[in-house]
Amino acid sequence: MRVLDERILGGTRKAVLARALTGKSFERTHRHGKHLFVKVEDRPPSLSPWLHLHFGMSGDLAYYEHEPPRFARVIFDFDNGWHLAFEDMRLFGVVDLTPSPEAYIAEHRLGPDPLELRLPAFRRLLAGRRGAAKALLMSQDVIAGVGNLYADETLYQTSIHPRRAADALSEREVAQVFTTLRRILAGAIDRKTRGADHPARYLIQHREEGERCRKCGGTILRMVVFGRTTYYCGKHQG
C-alpha cells in the first residue's frame, strides 16, 4: 500500500498501517453509520485488525487498473495488478486501524445504525430528548449515519420543522420519521451504488433559498440549526 498524504491517517503511523496490511487480503466489510470497516485476513484470526474508513464529506473509493483518481490519498495495490484508491479532496476522511468494529463503536460512542434498528428502540432513543429534531437525527451518539443532508431530507418528507423538539413529536410522527429515514438511507445506498441520482422530488435536489417546494408549492427557506445550514419548506414544515 502507498500513503500519498499522511494527513488522512489521523495520527496512525504509516509504517504501522503498512505492516498490518501488506501481504494480507480483505476478507469482508461491515458498515456502521458513516463508517466502513474492512476485516483483514490473518492467522490466527484473533490478532488481525480491521481497516477503518471514514469518508468525511468528499471521500470515496475507486477501484482502477491504470489511472488513479486526482485526489487519491491512500492506494492499496493488489496482486492482480489493480488498485483501490481512497480519495478525498478535502481531507476530512480517515484511514486507520481498529481492533474491531465493536471496539471502534464503543470508543467513539456511536449510536445504533438506523437500518439495524426497530421502531420501539427508535422511540426509546427519542424519549426525553428536548432538543431539536434535526439535532437528534444528526447526533452520531444517538443514531449513527445521518448527516446534514439526510436529516433535512427526512424532516422535509415527514413535514416536520427542523427545530421541533424531538420529544414533542407525536407517536405517528415518530413512526413516520423512522420509516422515512430508513427508506431514504436504503434508497440512497441502492441508487448511489448504481450511480443513479436522488429522485427529483427530494429536497436534496433543491437546496437553495427561494426554490419552489415540489411537494406543496411553498417556498424553500434557509436557516442555521445545530450549527448547520438547513433547508426546509416554510409552508408544509411550518
Partner DNA sequence: AGTACCACCTGACGGC
Partner DNA sequence: TGCCGTCAGGTGGTAC
Check binding of 131 to DNA (CB under 7 A): yes
Check binding of 108 to DNA (CB under 7 A): yes
- Residues 55, 93: contact at Cβ < 8 Å? yes
Closest distance to DNA from the beta carbon of 195 (Å): 20
Nearest CA among 84, 97, 107 for reference residue 47:
97
In this complex, which beta carbon is closest to DNA, that of residue 108 or of residue 206? 108
What's the CA angle centered on 132, arms 126 and 136, to 5 degrees?
45
- Residues 33, 105: contact at Cβ < 8 Å? no
Binding mask of the shown chain, residues 212 to 231, with x at each position contacting DNA by CB under 7 A: ------------xxxxxx--
CB atoms within 10 A of CB 46: 7
What type of residue is 143? I
Closest distance to DNA from the beta carbon of 78 (Å): 27
What type of residue is 99? P
Check binding of 91 to DNA (CB under 7 A): yes
DSSP state for residue 33 in the 8-state scheme = T
Interface residue with DNA among 27, 58, 67, 183 (CB under 7 A) is 58
For 14, the 3-state DSSP assignment is helix
Interface residue with DNA among 1, 21, 149, 177 (CB under 7 A) is 149
Closest distance to DNA from the beta carbon of 97 (Å): 14
- Residues 56, 93: contact at Cβ < 8 Å? yes
Binding mask of the shown chain, residues 164 to 203, with x at each position contacting DNA by CB under 7 A: ----------------------------------------
User: Footprint of DNA on this chain (CB under 7 A)?
Assistant: 7, 33-35, 54, 56-58, 71, 89-92, 108, 128-132, 135, 140, 147-149, 207, 224-229
